[in-house]
Chains A and B, each alone.
Chain A
Amino acid sequence: MELAVATVTNLLILSSMYILVALGFAFLFNMLGIPNFAHGAVYMLGGYIGLALISAVGINQWAGLIITAVIVGAFGVFLEKFCFRPFIGDFNRIVMICVAVIVILQTGVNIIVGTEIVSLPSFATGVLRVGLVSVSYERIVTFAVGAFLLGAVVWFVNRTKWGQQMQAISQDIEGASLQGINVRRVSALASFIGCALAAIAGCMVGAYLSLGPFMGDFMLVKVLILAILSGVGSISGIFIAGLVLGSLDSILPLFVSGAASDAVAVAIVIVLLLIRPQGFFGHEVEM
């Protein structure tokens, strides 16, 4: 029973964090065809800015979370405007810029904070007991924040004017701009939201687990898996792929020990990709 509850909470937390980070990648990837390899570094940056604000400056945790999201979102707008948009469709140069951004952010964090593992203060303490089952409040809060944000994003994408403009752009960028949609403003907004979500995920993971300068590399791999499995142009696909990957990552370690479980998960992903090369929910694009 303990194990089952732990596995399920793990599954939900991992999935919600993967999806939170992957949404930002998917926004830019769907709309402008930009594979933002620096998204993992942005997620890491979010964690460290949250650490600076909450631990060093000492403001309220939830206020710090929101300020972090705004700062990193602004950084996302900067990235999108000056680094990605001039090179749309040029895969090589976008990869070069992403590596440069990753190196700058990781080296900067390395110099300022150092490589030792640090973590944010917990967002909640204590343990919830229901009958035989006990779950720590920290896990509940982490999942609740993730679920709330994901719900908000789904509402935003499907129900608001901005969200529908984003969907229109990811279907056909030229058609959308012919209809009078301001592609620049909407893609800047999408980048803001995407990077803000990644920053919040970075803070939550930093509080739930720990922070390290290279945590972004690990998350980037998960994000790429999610985005490719779900396919281009699908937001709901990200959720399903995120749940699949989260369950693989939380259930496989029960049966296969250590790094072998990661290898099995990657093997399953490759097989899924070979079964359906254009992703499971999206449409095929030329790049």
Chain B
Amino acid sequence: MDMIEQPSITDRRKWLKPSILAGLVVIIALMPVIQGSPYILHIFILTFIYIIAAVSLRTITISGQFPLAHGAFMGIGAYVAGMASKWLGWPPWFTIPSAAIVTAGIGMLISYPFSRLRALYYAMGSLFFGIGVIYMVYAGGIWTGGYSGLTGIGSMFGSSKVAYYYFFLGLTMVCLLALHRFEFSRIGINLKAIAQSHLVASSVGINEGWYRILAVSVGCFFAGLAGAGYAHYNTVLSPATFNFMGTLWLVMYVLLGGIESFAGPIIGTSILVLLPEFARDLKVYSPFLSAVLLLIVVFLMPKGLVSLPYLIRAWYTERKKGKKITHVSGN
């Protein structure tokens, strides 16, 4: 937050952000009416699911931990919901919350031993955990479907994409509100304090271990929720969706948008999920588009895509002054 100098909010500016947000929400809510093709709705539904996962990953990172297992947590949620639906016959409105709770519990259990690890070692330890989860799914035989994937999961609304669209839109809104409240609550402030210096934070009475576990549990809860929603939407699960590369792509969604702001993962996910789908004319070449976008952000926008307006404004004022541009030199 403090990295980018925000201009003081004048009266004119005060209403700009909320009105843009409200306009966007209205457009997205009217989407099925404007452009009702099932394919477009499908892409938007996937975007909603990944937005929940990406924002919850960022919630963990504000505590200074960088887990590389978020795809696997999404997978745990998806497989718990899918298996409960297939083998126990539970209805979706019951499997989705219970899968989220199970995922949060597993996140809590693993973050207790992993709190010994710091920085890169934490990232690597969680990465190995994620890989282990996927191997367990492969080894699960008939229960998890193994290599061929889990099929026959009960669906929520049949084949109606519009119902799914509004369900996931609502779910995403609720999750974003909850995570936003969490981040800017007292707990979130404590988490940011731990991220800045865990020694100073514990010296002023913040229980570091407890808060780190709490951050992981909350993040995993929403990852499990997204995964469970995905399971009931797609009704077919493949372990490859949640493997190491799936995790890395979730990390990309967060980093492309900008890890330092709440809007970052939302923007990043929207662009990286929607862009290749709308560039389908490029066929096999469309992954290059994502890669080029990542490289552009790495080399030109150190703080992610959210810093673009500030960079443009800075460039504009510099140009007015007639000076050389020196602001994009990174940190």
Contacts and interface: CB of A to CB of B under 8 A. Distances in A.
Contacts of B124: 224, 228, 273
Which interface class (under 10, 10 to 19, 20 to 34, 35 or more) fits B? 35 or more
Interface string A77-114: 00000000011001111011101111110110011000
Contacts of A96: 252, 255-256, 294, 297-298
A37 B135 CA distance: 20
B259 interface: yes
A68 to B, nearest CB: 23
A22 B119 CA distance: 21
B135 A262 contact: yes
A35 interface: yes
A100 B298 contact: yes
Interface in A260-280: 260, 262-263, 266-267, 269-270, 273-274, 277-278
A138 interface: no
Interface stretch (B18-26, B74-82, B220-228, B281-289): B281-289
Contact of B128 (A97, A107, A217, A225): A225
Interface stretch (B49-57, B110-118, B191-199): B110-118
Give the interface size bracket for A toward B. Answer: 35 or more
A2 interface: no
Interface string B96-137: 000000000000000001101111110011011101100110
A277 B116 contact: yes
Contact of B295 (A100, A258, A259, A286): A100
Given A35-B120, A111-B285, A217-B244, A270 B128 contact: yes
Contacts of B116: 274, 277
Given A263-B136, A277-B118, A107 B287 contact: yes
Contacts of B295: 97, 100
B248 A95 contact: yes
A104 B245 CA distance: 14
Interface in B298-331: 298, 302, 330-331
Chain B at the A interface: SS class? helix
A91 B128 contact: no
A287 interface: yes
A96 B300 CA distance: 13
B120 A110 contact: no
A210 B264 CA distance: 41
Contacts of A102: 245
A5 interface: no
Q: Name A's interface SS.
A: helix
B117 A273 contact: yes
Contact of B132 (A101, A224, A266): A266
B127 A267 contact: no
Contacts of B128: 224-225, 228, 266, 269-270, 273
B261 interface: no
Nearest to B290: A103
A221 interface: yes
Nearest to A220: B244
Contacts of B255: 92-93, 95-96
B66 interface: yes
A99 B294 contact: yes
A106 B116 CA distance: 36
B288 A104 contact: yes
B312 to A, nearest CB: 21
Contact of A92 (B113, B114, B127, B259): B259
B27 interface: no
Q: Which of B66, B244, B298 has the most A CB atoms < 10 Å from its CB?
A: B298
Nearest to B292: A100
Contacts of B139: 258-260, 262-263
A259 B287 contact: no
Among B284, B285, B291, residue most surrounded by chain A Cβ atoms (within 10 Å): B291
Contacts of A92: 255, 259
B251 interface: yes
Nearest to A105: B291
A123 B298 CA distance: 41
A125 B303 CA distance: 55
Contacts of B119: 286-287
A287 B117 CA distance: 12
B230 interface: no
B294 A107 contact: no
A95 B131 contact: no
Given A101-B291, A270-B128, A274-B116, 10 more contacts: A91-B66, A93-B298, A96-B255, A221-B244, A225-B128, A262-B139, A273-B117, A273-B125, A274-B117, A278-B121
21 contacts: A86-B330, A95-B248, A95-B251, A99-B248, A100-B290, A103-B288, A217-B245, A221-B131, A221-B244, A258-B139, A259-B135, A259-B136, A259-B146, A262-B139, A263-B135, A266-B131, A273-B117, A273-B124, A274-B114, A286-B119, A287-B119
The 8 closest A-B pairs by CB, nearest first: A259-B138, A263-B135, A260-B139, A266-B132, A259-B139, A100-B294, A103-B291, A100-B291
Interface of B: 66, 113-114, 116-121, 124-125, 127-129, 131-132, 135-136, 138-139, 146-147, 243-245, 248-249, 251-252, 255-256, 259, 284-285, 287-288, 290-292, 294-295, 297-298, 302, 330-331
